Each structure stands twice: as structure tokens, then as C-alpha cells.
């Protein structure tokens, strides 16, 4: 008995340490942010960088503990592996962004204000990820939007930045109200505000009206947070803000919609109506945004449209029950998009180099050869994993492989073709390994296959691929010309959303915009 008590005591001490460590990254980053709120420290950038390094080290050390020790269901902090791996990701992105911003904002007199709100934003995200209480989660969620708004308005004299921040502000308040209502419904249904206690109730035999409504509201919040069409305009226009803000937003903040669905996966996986809400809106957003991206010239704008499409795809994966794939997508997209925005200045040189070495457009025989090799690879992966369904993820990876192989096969050299095959095989192998590995960070869920959802997503992906080929190979056709025009205009969705948003709450242009309009502080009404 004494040995058993000592063992339980030791395990309890480990769990207390685990819960303390998962909150430390947020506190370490929050403290210099609060210090900068009242003073401009001379070595503020060095302090911020050291804080992020400490937060990253602690998050890295916490992750193995979350895999080895059980999560305390009654704690205010959630030390599940999912939360820990997100904290590690956010700490890493914060460190990269701060190191870049230290050079990017050198000599700027407002760098202290920028750093303060940047650190507060990162701290709010970390607290949200660590929260295991509905109220604490909601307060930190609100804190993300409020601190991010200050970063989006870092250059308040830019009318486009002010308009984008204004639209984002309104949408954020709507999402926060919906999230509060969803949390209130869950609290009233389960009589507890501890998130892990609520999720432990699922699965249930059948969801009642309150649970269905809460799941629908959570899905709506994720859609708004991930800037899905037609509520995407602010994400495209915030490229007016400093590059570090864009990197942080696209790599570490907009993903919170996906995290919300991953966190509440036990509830969401049983809510058919909520899943179809995501499948329809996110599916159409992915198709549309991916096509619109092809018509853009600005690197940052292309990246912004890419984010909308990628976030839609991540939400689709959640709706299909592919939570391990959604988590992999979230992690990979965050790292890629941070790198893409922070190196956008070199993209012009890379583009010129690519044009000089660009291979000719693949012909029909090349496409058929790429399709044949891809089919062999994908069938081998399916047999290895014994997971033929759902089919839509395999269609997506097949599209990526066909395009990779066709580009290599179009170069009439043995080395290029061999390299393309090896690259394709490497991509598929890494995809399978990482997809299997991310399951370690997620709870075990029983997902029922939905063939209508799988067919819907497959049709969208095939339509995207077909329209891509039409625009590439038949740009002179009347259909392609008309499609390009509406795509270049973004189907006029942002104009519609802006007009209705500004009718609800008119925005005031900055005073410095008087060169553009007849009067300063003129109200935008259309």
C-alpha cells in the first residue's frame, strides 16, 4: 500500500509539473510584453528573442511528458499531446518572426509598440491552446483578435489597411459571440466548464438539439476564423501590414479555426449538419480560392489566396474525419507560409530564374506517363496502409504527384525523369509516414465513412484539376477568357461583403488619405 501511494504521489507530482510547464511558454512571452507596455527597454528585441527561445525549449520538453502521462481531466490547463504540439509550433513561429522583425523594423521609432502587441498576440494564442476551461479559452480567444487588430493597424495612415482591419474587427466580434453561445450551450448541457470533462461525454448514442446547435456554432466560428468565402476579403487586404504581421497571421493565428475543430473533434465527428456546413462552404472556398490564386501577380496576394484555399482544405479534412491529416496540414502549412512570407522579397529573382529554366508545357503523352506512374505509387501506398477510403485524399495526393511527375517528364533527359520519379516517391512516403505519426497527438475516435461527403469532395478536386488544365492549355477559348475575368475579379464576392459590412458599420478613412478622397475622415459607405 505504501509503495502504491508513493507511486501515485510521484505520478501526481509529474502531472503537476506537466501542467505547470504547458503554461510556462505563454507566461515567459507575456512578461516582456507587459514590461514593454510601460517602458521601452533598450534591449527589447534581445529580451523578446530570449523569451521565445525559452518558450520553445519548454514546449519541446513538455511534449514527451504529454505522450507518456495521462491528462488531468479536472485541470484548468489542457496538457494533451495536441495542445503541446501546437504550443511547440507557435513558439517556433514566434521565434522566427521576431528574428525577422528585428531586422525588418530596424530604425523604426514604433518598434517597441510593434513588439509589445506581437508578444501579446503570441501569448494570447499560447494561452488559448493551453486552456482547458471554456471561459479561459474564450477570453484568450478574444485577446488574440484584440491584440492582432493593433498589429493590423500598425500603419494607421494606410486606407486599405484600415479598411481590412475594420472588416476583420467586425467578423472577429461575430465569431466571438457565436463561440460564447456555443460554450454556454455546452455548459448548460453538461454542467461543467472543463473542456476535457465535456469531451469525455462523447461519443453518445444520438446528439440532442443543444449539442447539434453547439456543433453548428463551432463550425461557423471555424469558417469565419479561417477566412472562408465570402468573408475572406480582410485576409487578402491585410498584406498592407508589415511582413512579420502577415507571417504571424498566416502561420500561427488563422489556423486557430482548425485547432477549434480538432479540439472538439469528439463532438464535431457526430454532428452531421455541422460537417456538411463545413464541407459546402469550405469546399467551394477551396475550389474558388485556388483558381483565383492563378490570376494574381502580387506574391503576397497569391500567398493570401493560397491561405484561404489551404484553410478550406484543412476544414474539409476535419469534416471527413481525417483529423490526423488536418493536424499534419496545419503544421506543414504554418511552417511553409511563415517561410513564404518572410522570403517574399526574393520571390521575384526566383521567378525570373524559373522562367529561364522552365520546361515546355507537358503534352498528352507526358501526362499519361505521369498518370500511370502515379497510379502505381498510390495503389502501392493504399495496399501498404490498407486504407482505400475515403478516396478524396488519395485523389488530392495523386493530383500533386501527377503535376510533379509531368513537370519532370517534360524535360527530355534521363536524369530529370529519374529525379521526378524519386521526388514523387519521396513525397508519397513522407506523406504516409507523417500522416501516421500525427495520430499520436490525437485521441482515438471512431469515424464512420460518409460516401456522399467523399463524393462531394472528390468532385470538387477533380473540377479544380480540370479547370486548371483548361486555363493552362486553352487560354484563348471564350470559356477560359470569361472564367479568367471573373476569377480575376474574385467573383466580386469581396465587393459584396464589403458593401454589406460597411452598411452595418461604416468605417472612417485615416486622415492621411485626404490625397485620395475629397475630405479627411470621409465615411466609406459603398
Residue 149 has pLDDT above 50, yes or no: yes
For residue 8, is pLDDT > 70?
no
- The Cα 300–Cα 340 span in angstroms is 9
Task: Name the residue with higher pLDDT: 299 or 337.
Answer: 337
Residue 321 pLDDT > 70, yes or no? yes
3 pLDDT higher than 50: no
Q: Where are the beta strands (DSSP E) in 175-230?
A: none
User: What is the mean predicted confidence (pLDDT) over 371-385?
Assistant: 90
- State the pLDDT at residue 256: 95
Q: Residue by residue, what is the 3-state secondary structure of 117-183?
A: HHHHHHHHHHHHHHECEHHHHHHHHHHHHHHHHHHHCCCCCCHHHHHHHHHHHHHHHHHHHHHHHHH
pLDDT in tens, 14-62: 556 666 778 888 888 888 887 776 666 678 888 888 889 999 998 888 8
Q: DSSP per residue over 242-309, as a string?
A: -HHHHHHIIIIITTHHHHHHHHTHHHHTT-HHHHHHHHHHHHHHHHHHHHHHTT--SHHHHHHHHHHH
Cut 0.75: pTM above it: yes
pLDDT at 354: 55
314 pLDDT higher than 70: yes
Judge whether residue 281 has pLDDT over 60: yes
Q: Which range, 144-158, 238-252, 314-328, is most confident?
A: 314-328
Residue 38 confidence (pLDDT): 65
54-63, 257-266, 345-354: range with lowest mean pLDDT:
345-354
- Residue 73, pLDDT above cutoff 70: no
Task: Output the pLDDT for position 432.
Answer: 87
pLDDT band at 523 (very low <50, low <70, confident <90, very high): very low
Mean pLDDT of 118-124: 92
Q: What is the mean pLDDT of residues 364-388?
A: 88
Q: Mean pLDDT highest for which of 39-43, 90-94, 502-506?
A: 90-94
CA distance 211 to 273: 11
pLDDT for residue 423:
87
89: confidence class by pLDDT, cuts 50, 70, 90: very high
Percent above pLDDT 70 for the chain: 87
Give the count of beta carbons closer than 10 Å to the beta carbon of residue 286.
25
pLDDT of residue 17: 65
Q: What is the mean pLDDT of residues 224-230?
A: 93
Q: pLDDT averaged over the chain?
A: 85
Overall average pLDDT of the 474-495 stretch: 87
In contact, 60 and 85? CB cutoff 8 Å: no
Question: In the 3-class helix/strand/coil scheme, how is 356-410 assigned residue by residue?
Answer: HCCCCCCCHHHHHHHHHHHHHHHHHHHHHHCCCCCCHHHHHHHHHHHHHHHHHHC
Note the pLDDT of residue 348. 54
Report, as an integer, the average pLDDT of 202-211.
92
Task: Tell me the average pLDDT across 462-484.
Answer: 90
447-314-354 Cα angle (round to 5): 140
pLDDT at 351: 54
Percent of the chain with pLDDT over 90: 42
Amino acid at each position: 500500500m505504501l509503495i502504491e501511494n508513493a507511486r501515485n504521489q510521484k505520478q501526481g507530482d509529474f502531472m503537476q509539473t506537466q501542467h505547470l510547464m504547458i503554461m510556462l511558454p505563454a507566461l515567459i512571452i507575456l512578461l516582456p510584453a507587459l514590461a514593454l507596455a510601460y517602458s521601452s527597454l533598450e534591449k527589447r528585441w534581445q529580451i523578446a528573442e530570449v523569451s521565445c527561445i525559452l518558450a520553445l525549449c519548454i514546449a519541446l520538453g513538455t511534449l514527451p511528458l504529454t505522450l507518456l502521462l495521462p491528462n488531468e481531466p479536472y485541470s484548468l490547463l489542457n496538457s494533451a499531446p495536441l495542445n503541446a504540439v501546437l504550443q511547440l509550433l507557435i513558439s517556433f513561429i514566434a521565434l522566427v518572426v521576431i528574428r525577422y522583425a528585428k531586422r525588418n523594423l530596424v530604425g523604426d521609432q514604433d518598434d517597441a509598440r510593434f513588439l509589445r502587441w506581437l508578444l501579446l498576440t503570441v501569448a494570447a494564442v499560447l494561452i488559448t491552446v493551453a486552456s482547458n476551461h471554456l471561459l479561459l479559452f474564450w477570453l484568450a480567444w478574444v485577446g488574440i483578435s484584440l491584440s492582432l487588430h493593433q498589429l493590423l493597424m500598425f500603419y494607421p495612415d494606410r486606407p486599405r489597411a484600415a479598411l481590412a482591419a475594420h472588416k476583420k474587427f467586425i467578423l472577429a466580434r461575430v465569431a466571438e459571440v457565436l463561440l460564447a453561445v456555443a460554450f454556454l450551450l455546452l455548459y448548460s448541457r453538461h454542467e461543467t466548464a472543463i473542456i476535457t470533462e465535456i469531451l469525455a461525454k462523447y461519443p453518445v448514442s444520438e446528439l440532442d438539439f443543444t449539442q447539434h446547435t453547439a456543433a453548428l456554432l463551432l463550425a461557423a466560428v471555424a469558417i469565419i476564423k479561417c477566412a472562408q468565402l465570402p468573408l475572406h476579403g480582410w485576409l487578402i487586404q491585410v498584406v498592407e501590414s508589415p511582413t512579420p504581421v502577415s507571417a504571424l497571421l498566416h502561420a500561427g493565428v488563422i489556423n486557430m479555426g482548425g485547432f477549434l475543430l480538432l479540439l472538439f473533434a469528439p463532438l464535431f465527428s457526430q454532428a452531421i449538419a455541422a460537417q456538411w456546413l463545413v464541407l459546402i462552404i469550405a469546399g467551394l472556398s477551396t475550389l474558388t480560392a485556388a483558381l483565383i490564386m492563378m490570376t494574381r501577380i502580387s506574391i503576397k496576394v497569391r500567398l493570401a489566396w493560397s491561405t484561404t484555399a489551404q484553410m478550406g482544405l484543412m476544414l474539409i479534412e476535419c469534416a471527413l474525419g481525417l483529423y490526423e491529416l488536418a493536424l499534419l496540414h496545419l503544421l506543414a502549412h504554418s511552417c511553409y507560409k511563415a517561410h513564404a512570407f518572410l522570403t517574399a522579397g526574393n520571390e521575384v529573382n526566383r521567378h525570373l530564374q524559373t522562367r529561364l529554366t522552365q520546361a515546355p508545357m507537358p503534352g498528352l503523352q507526358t501526362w499519361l506517363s505521369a498518370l500511370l506512374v502515379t497510379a502505381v505509387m498510390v495503389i502501392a501506398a493504399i495496399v501498404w496502409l490498407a486504407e482505400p477510403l475515403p478516396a478524396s485524399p488519395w485523389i488530392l495526393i495523386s493530383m500533386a504527384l501527377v503535376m510533379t511527375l509531368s513537370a519532370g517528364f517534360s524535360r527530355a533527359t534521363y536524369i530529370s525523369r529519374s529525379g521526378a520519379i524519386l521526388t514523387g516517391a519521396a513525397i508519397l512516403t513522407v506523406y504516409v509516414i507523417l500522416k501516421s505519426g500525427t495520430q499520436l497527438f490525437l485521441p482515438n475516435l471512431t469515424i464512420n465513412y460518409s460516401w456522399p461527403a467523399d463524393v462531394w469532395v472528390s468532385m470538387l478536386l477533380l473540377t479544380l484539376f480540370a479547370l486548371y488544365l483548361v486555363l493552362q492549355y486553352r487560354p484563348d477559348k471564350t470559356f477560359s477568357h470569361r472564367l479568367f475575368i471573373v476569377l480575376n475579379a474574385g467573383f466580386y464576392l469581396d465587393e459584396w461583403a464589403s458593401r454589406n459590412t460597411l452598411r452595418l458599420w461604416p468605417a472612417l478613412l485615416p486622415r492621411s488619405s485626404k490625397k485620395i478622397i475629397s475630405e479627411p475622415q470621409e465615411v466609406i459607405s459603398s
